[in-house]
Each structure stands twice: as C-alpha cells, then as structure tokens.
C-alpha cells in the first residue's frame, strides 16, 4: 500500500509519495518528492496520474528477483505476468474496488474450477448463485458445489492456515452435503484407498499425512526465499501428486495455490476449463519427469490469461 508522507521544513509542508512492499523476505521502497503540500493532493490522484510510470518503477525493483528464475521457455512471459500483477494491484488501490473485483473473480474461478472436475452447470447459473444466492438449475449437487465453493473461497481468504487441520477443513467445506457419482456422500478425512490419476499412482494413503507435513514444511521454509509464482506452482504440483483425498483434490489444490499467491501480494489465477486437457498433460509431464518447465510455462500462460481479463474488467470501473 502507498501513502502521502508529509514533512516540514522552515514551517512549510512538503509532500512525498511513498510505497513500501515486501517480497521474498526483502523490503522495497518507492519514494518520490512531490513538492509543497496542497489541499487537493491525494494518494489516489497521484497514483492514478502516474500509474504506468510507478508500475514500471516497481517492476525495475522486482526485476533482479526474476533473473535466475528459470521456469519458462519465454522470459518475456514471466516479466509480463509480474508487471501485470503490479498494475492490477495499483489499479485496485486507486479505484478502491478490491471486493467488487474479488466477487467477479469468484464467478470466473468457481465456474472454471468446478467445470474442470466435470460439473456441467453453465457460467450464467454460477453468476446467478453468487449474485442472488438462488438458482433454478436442475442439478442440486452442482448447485451445492457452487455454494460450497463460495464458502471455501471465503475460508481461503480469511481462515485458512498452512496446516493439516486447515486442509481438512477446506475439503470438508467444498464437499459438504455433496454426493459422489456412486451416490454416496463424500467420506470425511484423508483417503483410505489408493487413487490413480492420469494413469499415474499417487501417494499411498498411509503416507499422505507424512507427505503433506513435508510439503507444508517446504512452504514455510521457502516462503521468503522462493519467488511466489514458482512457490505456488511447486506447492500445487506436489499437492496434486499427494492427492490426499478420495476426490476434490484439484479444487482444494487450486485454492491453496491461490492462497499462496494472495498471501504474497499477487492476484489469484484461474486454470481455465477450456485448457483442462493441457493442464492435465502439464501435470503429468512434470510429475513423470518429462518436463517441469512445460508445467511452469502452462501455469504462467494461465496467469497471463487471468490477468489480461481482469485488467480489462478493472478498466471498465
């Protein structure tokens, strides 16, 4: 967040624009002297008038943190995603519309995330449920999934902690009152039987808690060392390999990935349903040792697609 800083010299007030932020355990500061303080001066007006220049200035401060980040074939893609994230944050601050935009994000994220897992509910019905809480859609289970996803997103923003209890709680919220394809209720807790995804074995049930604890430890040890984009993608990849629940692993995994991004000041990302096959292929290649960089590249393209859409949406406000 930024602010106007006032100093006094010889009885005269002078104003400066100041923005401070932390990234990868380092503190950064932008400081620009404006001149004599006047009644019409405001942080938002200054930021609005100088948005592109200030965003580029922040990008230059962040650029050294990207230099050794070898996670894609196209370096420009990584830099574009970073710059667009900066610009989104600045625009949300200027226009003071973060909550409105997060509601719009929920509409897009929930539709795409549930659709990846086989839900057929149309996007317009998802929007209607989020806007009014009501739907005439014929499939109760899929309507319930949307309501649960709304609650899960709220929990991710305001309650989730990086521990086993929160992961279980997130799963319980997402699967509340739902039935699986066999007509049975979703089981509570971690999986009791092995599951196979994309013809690959996942972590066996008896090792789930051990592997999750190791993954949580990895996150906590690296949250100030690794770049947040790579960190969030790595946690997501490893979480999907563990596949701790009988079902709901993709939905919980994508929410945890976004929790990491938001915790570190990045706008969350949507994995688009129309790219679900490429998503599954990228996970498979990374987990089978055939192309971790292909996975990173795919995730960055999804981030780019998300950010491009929301920059256009924010401009309309």
Determine the Cα angle at 286 with ends 280 and 289, to 5°.
135
C-alpha 155/C-alpha 168 separation (Å) is 12
Question: Residue 80 has which token pair?
Answer: 């574009």
Q: How much is the pTM?
A: 0.95
Q: If we measure between CA atoms, which residue out of 47, 84, 34, 44 comes closest to residue 62?
A: 84
Compare 187 and 215 and report the one with higher pLDDT: 215
Average pLDDT, the chain: 95
* pLDDT per position as a tens digit, 72-97: 888 899 999 999 999 999 999 999 99
Strands of 141-300, DSSP E: 196-197, 200-201
pLDDT tens for residues 2-52? 999 999 999 999 999 999 999 999 999 999 999 999 988 999 999 999 999
Provide the pLDDT for residue 213: 98
Q: What is the pLDDT of residues 38-72, one digit of tens each?
A: 988 999 999 999 999 999 999 999 999 999 898 98
What is the pLDDT, as a whole number, of residue 141? Answer: 93
CATH 1.10.3290.10 assigned to domain 98-315? The reply is yes
DSSP assignment string, 258-272: HHHHHHTTPPP----
Helix, strand and coil content of the chain, in percent to the nearest 5, comes to: 60, 10, 30
Tokens of 210: 């051990």
Q: Which long-range contacts (CB under 8 A, 24 or more apart) does 306-310 make?
A: 306/267, 306/268, 306/269, 306/270, 307/81, 307/84, 307/85, 307/88, 307/267, 308/84, 309/108, 310/88, 310/101, 310/104, 310/105, 310/267
Average pLDDT rounded to a whole number, residues 285-294: 91
Distance CA 128, CA 130 (A): 5
Q: Are 239 and 215 in contact (CB under 8 A)?
A: yes
Rg of the chain over all Cα atoms, to the nearest angstrom: 22
Domain range summary for the chain, segments of one domain joined by +: 1-65, 98-315
The residue to which tokens 């929160």 are assigned: 166
- Report pLDDT for 201: 85
């Amino acid at each position: 967040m930024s602010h106007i800083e006032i100093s006094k010299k010889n009885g005269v007030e002078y104003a400066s624009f100041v923005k401070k932020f932390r990234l990868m355990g380092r503190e950064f500061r932008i400081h620009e002297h404006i001149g004599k303080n006047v009644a019409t001066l405001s942080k938002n007006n200054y930021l609005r008038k100088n948005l592109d220049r200030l965003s580029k200035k922040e990008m230059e401060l962040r650029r050294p943190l990207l230099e050794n980040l070898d996670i894609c074939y196209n370096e420009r893609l990584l830099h574009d995603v970073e710059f667009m994230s900066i610009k989104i944050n600045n625009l949300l601050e200027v226009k003071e519309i973060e909550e409105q935009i997060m509601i719009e994000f929920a509409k897009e994220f929930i539709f795409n995330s549930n659709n990846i897992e086989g839900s057929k509910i149309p996007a317009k019905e998802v929007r209607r449920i989020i806007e009014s809480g009501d739907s005439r859609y014929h499939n109760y289970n899929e309507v319930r999934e949307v309501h649960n996803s709304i609650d899960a997103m709220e929990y991710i923003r305001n309650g989730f902690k990086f521990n086993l209890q929160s992961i279980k709680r997130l799963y319980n919220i997402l699967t509340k009152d739902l039935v699986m394809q066999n007509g049975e209720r979703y089981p509570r807790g971690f999986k009791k039987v092995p599951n196979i995804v994309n013809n690959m074995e996942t972590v066996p049930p008896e090792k789930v808690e051990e592997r999750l604890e190791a993954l949580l430890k990895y996150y906590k040890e690296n949250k100030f060392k690794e770049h947040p984009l790579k960190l969030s993608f790595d946690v997501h990849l490893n979480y999907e390999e563990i596949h701790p629940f009988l079902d709901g692993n993709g939905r919980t995994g994508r929410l945890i990935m976004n929790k990491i991004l938001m915790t570190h000041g990045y706008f969350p990302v949507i994995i688009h349903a129309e790219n679900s096959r490429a998503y599954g292929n990228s996970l498979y290649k990374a987990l089978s040792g055939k192309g971790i960089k292909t996975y990173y590249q795919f995730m960055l393209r999804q981030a780019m697609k998300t950010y491009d859409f929301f920059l256009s949406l924010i401009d309309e406000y």
